Amino acid sequence: MSIIAILFLSILLTNNKLKGTWIGMYNEYPDMELYMANERIFTLANYSYSEQGPKYELTKKRNGFYLNALNLIKSEFNTYEIIGIENDSLRVKSKQYESGFRTFHRIDDSLKFGQKINIAGKKFLFSNGKKTDTVYFRNDSIFKDSSYEFNHQWELIEHSGFQILFIEEFPPFVITKQDKNSIELKRFENPNDNYKLTELKK
């Protein structure tokens, strides 16, 4: 193999530590001590990159590529610089917003869930083992809970075999299981950050 071909492959091929699907946790702005929900999910293959988010956050799916030697993820809309990876945690900095960075967590393939979920127009008891709340997915885009008087937007999307629930201003959830009247979800702030939606029949 020629030197040029080796260099070319070293630029394109994804570091094995980065291969897989990463779900958003927070947008962090250390100078302002500000933490906001990172409502994105993306997958890195050998050199390809695919990113999605809810329509209120990201209007269309973004496809691009990864430059291994330069630690850059690029699409026609944006460029991320990889600034840190440790175990299942990843930090990237957008070239458009130099003052902060996005954090992501790797999702294991065992959490893929192929069943289609329908929650629009339904009320649920939302619990995580510590507290409960009543939530209402009023239609296919408006969400309301009993703790607040104002509405949030929401969207459920499929990405690389994962079912992801986005609720505006919250880090996204991975749907892991559905029974007759309940749906199990997971986030990654803590190792046992598990949630359940139990449908409240009218």
Rounded Cα distance between 40 and 72, Å, is 17
Model confidence at 178, in pLDDT bands (50, 70, 90)?
very high
Torsions phi, psi for 159 (to 5 deg): -140, 115
3-state secondary structure of 9: helix
Quick check: 6 pLDDT over 50?
no
Q: What percent of the chain has pLDDT over 70?
A: 91
Residue 24: CB atoms within 10 A of its CB come to 23
pLDDT tens per residue across span 130-169: 889 999 999 999 998 887 777 899 999 999 999 999 999 9
Torsions phi, psi for 143 (to 5 deg): -125, 140
Quick check: 174 pLDDT over 90?
yes
Report how far Cα 33 is from the mean position of its chain's Cα atoms.
Answer: 22
Counting DSSP H helices and E strands in the chain, the numbers are 1, 17
pLDDT tens per residue across span 11-50: 555 567 888 999 999 998 887 788 899 999 999 987 889 9
**Under 8 Å CB-to-CB from 196, ≥6 apart: which residues?**
126, 127, 128, 182, 183, 184, 185
Q: Which tokens belong to 5? A: 């071909």
Average pLDDT over residues 86-109: 87
Rounded Cα distance between 151 and 144, Å, is 5
Q: Which tokens belong to 79? A: 């460029």
Q: Is the pTM of this model over 0.85?
A: yes
